Amino acid sequence: MRLRPGYRIETVIKDLAFDGKAVGAIDGKIIFLDGGLPGEKVQAVVTKSKARFDTGHVTAIIEKGPERIEAPCRHFDICGGCTWQDLDYERQLYYKRKQVVDCLEHLAKLKDIEVAPAIPCDSPFHYRNKMEYSFNRIADGGFVLGLHKRGHYDDIFQLEQCLLPSPAAAAIVLWFQEYVKRSGLKVYDVNIHDGFWRFLMIRESFARNEIMINLITTEVAIPEAGNLAKELTAAFPAIKTIVQNINTLEANIARGEREITLYGPGYIEEEFLGKVFRVYAGTFLQTNSRQAARLYQAAYELLEPKDSDRLLDLYCGIGTIGLCVASQVGEVLGVELEPSAVRSAEENARLNNITNARFMAGLAQDLMREQRKIFEDMNCAIIDPPRAGMHKKALNSLLEIKYPRLVYISCNPSTFARDAALLVETGYKLGRVIPVDMFPHTMHIELVASFTRGI
Ligand code: SAH
């Protein structure tokens, strides 16, 4: 039966689906809902009706379920950030592991795989080392500085509190709300492309207690930038550097065509497993530093590195995975698309006195075909592709090279399941899968998996 959009229903939530949607049913037909937790009786409105399922959103919770807790953040109801803050943390971990199992069973048709319990975050708040806050004009001539409203990519709310960065970083946002008011410069308006202040990005090193401020603006003119640095560092001594990125383009992204260092060295330094990494404004880094170390450790545990190993670190970013294990293997080859990340990886190798690692910039799928010999000289690999998973051509090269040991790190269980199915079909055995919770209070889950094959 097709239901009209706007139709009101009542249902009991049975489960949470892959993308975090609540699963209910109307006369045996599944409905995926925004809002609602398992065990809850809810009232909802249908938004779309398809042949096999409906979608909608919860308008009222009639009976609360046992997994619901009070969300600690005052912005929870409107913020697009932490959609699962009202779900007990243990249950978040349960559903995240289940996502991984479901993807393996349903998408890859792989049953009886050993999926470990998700590795939890010791402290599921104050874990994010990078946050981007947006400036937005509001109707009465004022402005807001904060985060996106849930489901609205162009609407920002005024931040009063955020439990994801450190308390100091959250306080810096409030400081800027005041500072920009007295700066005499206008906040950028995306509709008419006028104004100065666009984004405030704050990056942190938890190991070293260092903060980077990155201001994204349309032109250079910060009034008395020296005074800004003086005031800001006096209020927040952990600030080690302040940079400004000039973005004059209409594309509303927190990156610039030109970067100016206003204070300090232009970078902060973070540590993973005893190694130091330089983090610039544009550097890609796992956003949960403490948990990234655990993710890497889980990967090494599955890899079982040996002195004689020649390890390929595919999709290596700034080299963190290969460099942290370099002392336990013979050599490391990192491959990464972004030339700036490769330069960073080389700098990080020098910084840590690592001499057995080298890096190549380019598309993995092209390099693996054009420079096959270099890849054939490696004997094991850790692969950490972006959300889309491995490019088909890169995966095909991998299947031809046939490394006896592969460790696959994924931030998307569905593309992982797709790639895993092909690896298993062509002779690999999928061993242990370890989910790692990098993003508490969201439905995202990272995982590490080992594949082995006879030579
Ligand atoms: N292993 C790193 C980074 C993982 S994120 C870490 O743990 O920090 C994935 C990385 O793959 C990004 O740095 C991205 O720039 C890179 N990348 C994306 N597509 C690529 C491609 N086709 N070839 C090579 N690198 C790619």
pLDDT tens for residues 379-427? Answer: 999 999 999 999 999 999 999 999 999 999 999 999 999 999 999 999 9
Does 284 sit in the ligand 1 pocket, CB within 6 Å? yes
User: Does the beta carbon of 316 lie inside 6 Å of ligand 1?
Assistant: yes
- Structure-token match 């993308």, residue found: 19
The mean pLDDT of 310-329, rounded to a whole number, is 98
| 260 φ, ψ (degrees, to nearest 5) | -120, 130
Ligand 1 atom 3 nearest Cα: 317
Cross-strand pairs, 216 = 199, 245
Say how many Å lie between the CA of residue 356 and the centre of ligand 1: 21
Q: Read off the pLDDT band of 71 (50, 70, 90).
A: very high
For ligand 1, atom 10: residue with the closest CA = 315
Residue 181 host element (H or E) = helix 167-183
CB 364 within 8 A of CB 316: no
- Element at 59 (helix H, strand E): strand 53-63
Mean pLDDT of the region 337-346: 96
The token pair at 248 is 């004059």
pLDDT tens-digit map of 60-69: 999 999 999 9
- Distance of alpha carbon 55 from alpha carbon 22, whole angstroms: 10
Cα–Cα distance for residue pair 58/32, rounded to 1 Å = 10
Separation CA 337–CA 49 (nearest Å): 41
Listing DSSP states for 182-221 in one string gives HH--PBPBTTTTB-SEEEEEEEEETTTTEEEEEEEESSS-
Task: Please state, in angstroms and rounded to a whole number, the distance separating the CA atoms of residues 130 and 415.
Answer: 25
* Residue 299 dihedral angles phi and psi, to the nearest 5°: -65, -40
Q: Is the pLDDT of residue 317 over 80?
A: yes
What would the pLDDT profile of 31-57 be if each residue is shown by its tens digit? Answer: 999 999 999 999 999 999 998 999 999
Nearest partner of 154 among 142, 170, 138, 140, judged by Cα: 138
Fold annotation for 8-63: OB fold (Dihydrolipoamide Acetyltransferase, E2P) (2.40.50)
Q: pLDDT digits over 111-124, tens only?
A: 999 999 999 999 89
Of the pLDDT bands very low, low, confident and very high (cuts 50, 70, 90), residue 103 is very high
CA 279 to chain centre: 16
What distance in Å separates the CA atoms of residue 197 and residue 451, rounded to the nearest whole number? 48
- What is the reported pLDDT for 19? 78
| DSSP collapsed to 3 states, 325-369 | HHHHCCEEEEEECCHHHHHHHHHHHHHCCCCCEEEEECCHHHHHH
First to last CA, the chain: 54
Substitution site in 130, 271, 284 for ligand 1 pocket (most atoms within 8 Å of beta carbon): 284
Judge contact between 423 and 410, C-beta under 8 A. Answer: no
Fold of 93-122+288-452: Rossmann fold (3.40.50)
Alpha-carbon radius of gyration of the chain:
24
Mean of per-residue pLDDT scores for the chain: 95
Verify whether ligand 1 is closer than 6 Å to residue 338 (CB atom). Answer: yes
pLDDT one-digit tens code per residue, 123-168: 899 999 999 999 999 988 899 999 999 988 789 999 999 999 999 9
Which are the contacts of 152, defined by CB distance < 8 A and separation ≥ 6? Answer: 80
CA distance 83 to 58: 14
So what's the pLDDT on residue 329? 98
- Residue owning tokens 């390890």: 311
Residue of 52, 51, 57, 50 whose CA lies nearest to 11? 57
CA distances to 167, 261, 267, 278 from 225, rounded to whole Å, are 25, 10, 18, 24
Give the distance from CA 16 to its chain's centroid. 21
Q: pTM of the prediction?
A: 0.94
CATH class of 130-272: mainly beta
Rounded mean pLDDT of 186-208?
94
61 C-alpha to ligand 1 centroid (Å) = 42
Higher pLDDT pick, 254 / 183: 183
Q: What is the pLDDT of residue 82?
A: 93
8-63 against 130-272: fold identical: yes
Name which residue sits closest to atom 22 of ligand 1, judged by CA.
363
Nearest to 206 by CA among 315, 286, 297: 286
Assign 455 a pLDDT band (cuts: 50, 70, 90).
low
Q: Which atom of ligand 1 is nearest to the CA of 394?
A: 22
State the closest ligand 1 atom to the C-alpha of 317, by its place in the atom list counted from 1. Answer: 13
Set 121, 162, 380, 411: catalytic member: 411
Q: Is 128 helix (H, G, I), strand (E, B) or coil?
A: coil
Model pLDDT for residues 423-439, shown as the tens digit of each residue = 999 999 999 999 999 99
CA of 317 to the centre of ligand 1 (A): 5
Two structure tokens written together for 88: 């007990």
Helix (H) / strand (E) element for 100: namely: helix 89-102
Q: Report the separation in Å between the CA atom of 181 and the middle of ligand 1, taken as the mean of its atom positions.
A: 39
Does 278 score more than 80 pLDDT? yes
Are 81 and 164 spatial neighbours (Cβ–Cβ below 8 Å)?
yes
Tokens of 369: 């075909």
- pLDDT grade, residue 454 (50/70/90)? confident
* Residue showing tokens 């398992």: 38
Give the position, in ligand 1's atom list, of the atom nearest the Cα of 391.
22
411 catalytic residue (yes or no): yes
Q: What is the pLDDT of residues 346-357, one digit of tens each?
A: 999 999 999 999
- Write out the two tokens for 257: 């065509």
Element (H, E) at 375: helix 372-376
Q: Where are the domains of the chain?
A: 8-63, 93-122+288-452, 130-272
